[in-house]
Chain A
Amino acid sequence: MGLQPFETVVTAHHAEIYRYLLRVTSRSGDADDLSQETFLRAYRAWGGLDDGANVRAWLFTIATNLARNYFRSESRRRRAYAGVGEIRTDVDPASPEEARRFRETRALVERVVDGLPLKQRLAFVLRKLHDLEYDAIGKSLECSPESARAHVFQALKKIRLGLNGHELPMMESVR
């Protein structure tokens, strides 16, 4: 590649990769380490990257690999699970009542998400929180786009089941 200086890649993507890894690890120290490692690896491989490659998807693949290695240690999985709730999120519905309900639902969803099998969880985060295409998610997780789609479907289904009996925040009508 070489045409675009690597600094522009850092500027364009560092915050998002950090956000991804923070969501996945739930710990800012680990998000810090892993995001730095992501970019150092990317820098080393930068010269060999094809022109026209999707740099953002490529970075997510590196970050996802690192995250998967990270979670090979089971104790870390548990720790990440216990860390749920440390992360602040953006949405703020209007009324206090609605806001409370939203917060409760979100906490519930977070618990389900963080308890998902790793591949489902990563696929879900990549798709729903970062809008990655399924073929990019497949590359990240070393599976087909169809499997990536299935992981997200399974994740949504489990979240949906996890919310059974819970009163959901109001949504706009079906159509």
Chain B
Amino acid sequence: MSTKHPSCRAIELDLVATATGDAEPRAAERVHRHLDTCAECRDEFGRYRAVDSVARGLRSTPPADALAKSRAGLESRLADLKQRRVAYRIFPSPLGHILVGRSEHGIAVVEYLHGGSSLRASRLARVEGIEPVPGGPELERLQRDLLEFIGGRRRDLDWTLDWRLARSDFERAVLEATAAIPYGAVASYAGVARRIGKPSAVRAVAQALRWNPLPIVVPCHRVIGTSGRLTGYAGDKLGLKQQLLSVEGVKLHTARRDASVAREAMYALGEGETEYCLPTCGSIGTRSLALLTLFASRADAEARGYAPCTNCRPDLHPL
């Protein structure tokens, strides 16, 4: 349809670009050389100049009130999202893939991932009121801390915790009592139930720990049955419980599909007492585990301010 001269057609794209301030300098030079000799293209150039100017004139300023309203709406939705946001990081560990998540308020979740290494394998993706977002390098420290802990090179995870994933006050109380069990020590579900003032709620304590949103940090692996058996962990991950306790130096008897704490190889601390004993001290060897905390080492007990018993003298006759 165009009756233009071939040289005009050849330069059309550059002409438009030049007229609308969008051309490379060399192309612009070519165009201007052509314009010097071609009145038709000069006219066309002028029209494109006008088009460009009118087009740029379409720049509009939205009404200030509409803009302010939109901004306010955004701020409020952002604040809400921020409240719900949990930045997470997934990394491999000797215990399998682990997800760690942090909210504005602290570490909200640690999770062993089953059958996958993405968020989809995580419970976090399905928790109501939580908005999981991939975390940045600020979560690297958490990964490092956890790997050091699992490797036995770190004893404390001095993290600020966000308890929002605890599903009830009861659950939160169980988690906090569990968090107070020291490194290298074990207590029983019955013992935790006593500590939160609900001595008959042993099964409920076990259930609460089954859904522990912060394993490792809230050391539910340090909670065992009154028989000394390790019983459950993170559903079906008894092996992990065994690994974590071994790292902390807790002595275990392991049978084929079962493991229990070797209480004869652990120091014992009676409920409400301030001195720890040898497992042979008085009647302590026969006392229910509901009433005891067992320590793998003297150092672990003394780190918590407990003194050696003045009768059995674990300081003079260490295990």
Contacts and interface: CB of A to CB of B under 8 A. Distances in A.
Interface of A: 1-2, 6, 10, 14-15, 18-19, 22-23, 28, 31-32, 35-36, 39-40, 43-48, 87-91, 102, 105-106, 109-110, 113, 124, 127-129, 149, 152-153, 156-157, 159-160, 163, 168-169, 171-172, 174-175
B57 A18 contact: no
Contacts of B55: 109, 113, 124, 128-129, 156, 159
Contacts of A1: 136
B60 A105 contact: no
A157 B66 CA distance: 34
Contacts of A159: 51, 55
A50 to B, nearest CB: 10
B87 interface: yes
B58 A10 contact: no
A63 B22 CA distance: 24
B75 A23 contact: no
B57 A91 contact: yes
Given A128-B58, A169-B54, A48 B78 contact: no
B81 A90 contact: no
Interface of B: 13, 16-17, 20, 22, 32, 35, 42, 45-63, 66-67, 69-71, 73-75, 77-78, 81-82, 85, 87, 131, 133-138
A69 B166 CA distance: 38
A138 B80 CA distance: 33
Contact of A18 (B22, B62, B137): B62
Nearest to A19: B62
Closest 9 CB pairs of A and B: A47-B136, A91-B57, A168-B50, A32-B70, A89-B60, A36-B74, A171-B49, A128-B55, A44-B133
A32 B59 contact: no
Contact of B67 (A18, A102, A163, A172): A18
A40 B43 CA distance: 48
Contacts of A39: 74, 78
A105 B54 contact: yes
A90 B59 contact: yes
B47 A160 contact: yes
A127 to B, nearest CB: 8
A109 B50 CA distance: 11
B60 A156 contact: no
B263 to A, nearest CB: 46
Summarize B's interface: helix, strand, loop or mixed.
Answer: helix
A102 B58 CA distance: 11
A43 B134 CA distance: 11
23 contacts: A2-B136, A15-B67, A36-B74, A40-B74, A40-B77, A44-B81, A45-B134, A47-B87, A47-B133, A47-B138, A90-B59, A106-B58, A113-B55, A127-B22, A129-B58, A153-B13, A153-B16, A156-B16, A159-B51, A160-B47, A160-B51, A172-B49, A174-B45
A28 to B, nearest CB: 5
Given A40-B78, A106-B54, 8 more contacts: A2-B136, A45-B133, A47-B87, A47-B134, A48-B134, A89-B59, A105-B50, A153-B13
Contacts of A18: 62, 67, 70-71
A39 B57 CA distance: 27
Nearest to A152: B22
Nearest to A150: B13
Contact of A163 (B51, B78, B85): B51
A23 B62 CA distance: 9
A174 B46 contact: yes
Given A102-B57, A106-B57, A113-B58, A156 B74 contact: no
Contacts of B63: 28, 88
A102 to B, nearest CB: 7
Contact of B62 (A15, A43, A110): A15
Contact of A19 (B50, B51, B61): B61
Instruction: Select the residue from A14, A160, A169 with max chain B CB neighbours within 10 A.
Output: A160
Contacts of A110: 58
Nearest to B134: A48
